[in-house]
Amino acid sequence: MRYLNSAETRQALPMTDAIRAMEHAFSAEAETPLRTVVGSSLVMPGRLDDIIAVKVVSTVPGDPAGLVVVFAPDGTPLGLVHGPTLTAIRTGAVCGLATALLASSGASTLAMLGAGAMALDQIEAVRAVRPIDRVMVWSRNPVNARLLAEMVGGEHVDDVADAAAQADVISCATPATSPILAESNVREGAHVNAIGAHTPDMAELAPDLLVRAYVVVDDLSAAAEEAGDLIQAGRLPNTSLRELLAGTSPEIGEDVTVFKSVGVAAQDVAAAHLALLNAERLGVGTLLLA
């Protein structure tokens, strides 16, 4: 059984591979029970085809601890992957997949709203699928925004509305409990990824934006229980990522698209399994007794 720490997880799961894993996650047969809070941790079991994984990650602020355990079809444990790192990569990757499916092919400007643990992978994922040559970073914490902007060769901005109004793609990854992005901030043809609001009492996107947009969610059942933006706005999604990939979605008639993600276990199964397969090929990680 192989264990991948944070650095090894990144080595074994480059963003292009992670995006490919997300396409598999939303195309293959899957079981994705809703996440459960146990003590101070989130527990997410899931199955993709005949591979099962269970993720346990801490909900304590500033304490990114946790693991994803992957099991073979016969129940044999295949390996352990660093949970917070895998979560950041697969969350970025699913937004990269949505951006590839929904954003204009010539999208070149990205507004990153939020500069926390998820933001770096959000930027990398969008850059992997679109010719982004300008990245604007906004955060309620200007120090974090400046640091992230320097890290990615972007620019720090103080005005969220101004940054969003200039962007072809807007990525939201904040812990906001009231909307930070309004309909008037988003220009025609823009695409929005929103990952921050994962409970009913959280929201990043204003109701008027959701009314205007064509809304895609990662999972219809999970969104109905956890997508605070949609729940508070009383907005039903137009379709899911699975339907979009299958070609069964309604035609897009709206001038703005939104991908709203709360995260589902199939993403963890696909990403962790591929990371372990890549790690075995590369000789990365620590071998443990199963």
Cα gap 290→282, rounded to integer Å: 20
Select from 134, 103, 121 the least CA-distant residue to 17.
Answer: 121
Mean pLDDT in residue range 11-39: 95
Cα gap 14→49, rounded to integer Å: 22
**What share of the chain in percent tops pLDDT 90?**
95
| Buried-state track 26-42, b at ≥16 Cβ within 10 A, e below 16 | bebebebeebeeeeebb
Domains and CATH numbers, the chain: 2-87+265-287 (3.30.1780.10), 102-260 (3.40.50.720)
218, 225 Cβ separation under 8 angstroms? no
pTM for the structure as a whole: 0.96
pLDDT of 74-84, one tens digit each? 999 999 999 99
**62 has pLDDT over 90:** no
